[in-house]
Amino acid sequence: MTIEILGISVLWLFLFGYVIVASIDFGAGFFNASTIVTGKHHIVNSVIQRYLSPVWEITNVFLVFFFVGMIGFFPKTAYYFGTVLLIPISISIILLALRGSYYAFGTYGSKGHKGYTLMYGVTGVFIPASLTTALIVSQGGFIKETAKGTIELDYFALFTSPFSWSIVLLSLVSVLYISASFLAYYSSVAEDNGALKLFRKYTWIWSFPTIITALGIIVEMRWHNPSHFEGLLDLWWVFALSTLCFVTSLWYLRKARYGLSFIFVVLQFAFAFYAYGASRYPYLLYPYLTIYDGFTNQTMAISLVIVFVIGLMLLIPSLYLVFKLFIMNKPYIKNQKM
């Protein structure tokens, strides 16, 4: 394995980490807000708050981590993505800023402020949409060169492409699906039957749109980027595994084994995510940038890998502690006295 592939695998892992924790977070914010509107807020509020409060900050760090690592390992991406994505990513930053602060204002400041909760939910739905722009652009076909020899985003192509809208749609439904599945599990640990019933229903509702849009995108890829489509077909068996995990998770959901069901949801996305990533090989930004010509110098790459390993040795135990205290800790989740 070359160090380039190691670098991109590490980053892909962090992006995946962000996709999972952020999905839970965005979805939870959405359910939290939507149940205010539907009048079921009292059912889900406590479960959501108990999970979200200690971990909201960590979610954000995953994103920064991915991003800083990307520039570290592949400095050229700073030029390409930075130049092209000024507006879409600025919109994401603004939404993240509003969302993060509204959460803090609502949770630590004026408890139970409905305006903050609603803003928190609404921004959470738009963030995945604006962040996926980066993914869509990296697919190729949305960058145009100007007369001066510089590059810019082709907004017209972006907004009129069914392909880009399908990816936005996929990100939205999978956020709700992942989140519902996790919260179903979380409320089953809390033995909160009201919340459990609701989240189980949500999991069912959002599971099928997720798999349908995902399949739809693979088909669309055939016209959008034929060589990538070939790459996807070569990895058909990984997608098959992903589908198998999908079926298994639904089966466990039916059998009321919510922990296992959630694990299979994560596996389902892991397989699909890695297969998608591998099928793009070797492109970071089609057709401008591959992982080889965008890579940093060897010395920096090695030192980054060393720091990464040391960092993980500190990080994993700490995350385990969070997990033990807030996610796997029944008395805490159930709000019992310690």
Partner 1 sequence: MILESVEFSRYLTMLTLSVHVVFATVGVGVPLFIMIAHWIGLKREDQHYILMAKRWTRGYVISVAVGVVTGTAIALQLALLWPRFMEFAGQLVALPLFMETFAFFFEAIFLGIYLYTWNRFKNPKHHFYLLVPVVIGGAMSALFITSVNAFMNTPQGFTLLNGELTNIQPLLAMFNPAMPTKVAHVLSSAYMTAAFVLASIAAFHLLRGSRHEYHRKGLSLTMKVGFIFCIATALIGDLSGKFLAEYQPEKLAAAEWHFETKGEAPIILFGVLTETNEVKYAIEIPYALSILVHSNLSGEVTGLNDIPEEYHPPYVIHYFFDIMVSIGIGLTLLSMFYLLALKRNWAIIKTKLFRTFLVLTGPLAMLAIQAGWWFTEVGRQPWIMRGFMKTAEGATDSNYVWVMFIVFAFVYLILMIGTAVVLTRMFRNNPVEYEIDGLSKQEGLGEQRGVTV
What are the residues binding partner 1 (CB under 8 A)?
53-55, 57-58, 60-61, 63-65, 67-69, 71-73, 75-76, 78-83, 85-87, 89-90, 92-94, 96-105, 108-110, 148, 150, 152, 296-297, 299-300, 303-304, 307-308, 311, 314-315, 318-319, 321-322, 325-326, 332, 338
Question: Could you give the angle at which helices 41-73 and 298-322 cross, rounded to 10 degrees?
Answer: 160
Four-point Cα dihedral 287, 166, 67, 8, nearest 10? -50
Number of H helices, E strands in the chain: 13, 4
Q: Least distance (Å) from partner 1 to the CB of residue 80?
A: 8
Q: Encode burial over 87-114: b for 16+ CB neighbours within 10 A, e otherwise.
A: ebbebbeebbebbbebbeebbeeeeeee
Residue 1 or 150 with smaller CB distance to partner 1: 150
Residue 60 or 248 with smaller CB distance to partner 1: 60
3 state SS of 55: helix
3 state SS of 190: coil
CA distance linking residue 168 with residue 174, whole number of Å: 10
Q: Least distance (Å) from partner 1 to the CB of residue 337?
A: 9
**Largest interatomic CA distance in the chain:** 68
Residue 116 or 202 with smaller CB distance to partner 1: 116
Residue 58 or 218 with smaller CB distance to partner 1: 58
Residue 182 or 332 with smaller CB distance to partner 1: 332
Contact 155, 143 (CB under 8 A): no
Q: Least distance (Å) from partner 1 to the CB of residue 193?
A: 25
Contact 15, 24 (CB under 8 A): no
Residue 2 or 110 with smaller CB distance to partner 1: 110
Residue 233 or 322 with smaller CB distance to partner 1: 322
3 state SS of 280: coil
Q: Least distance (Å) from partner 1 to the CB of residue 99?
A: 8
Residue carrying structure tokens 């909760």:
117
Copy the structure tokens of residue 83.
């130049």
Q: Least distance (Å) from partner 1 to the CB of residue 120?
A: 12
Q: Least distance (Å) from partner 1 to the CB of residue 142?
A: 15
3 state SS of 147: coil
Q: Least distance (Å) from partner 1 to the CB of residue 9?
A: 16
Copy the structure tokens of residue 24.
């839970």
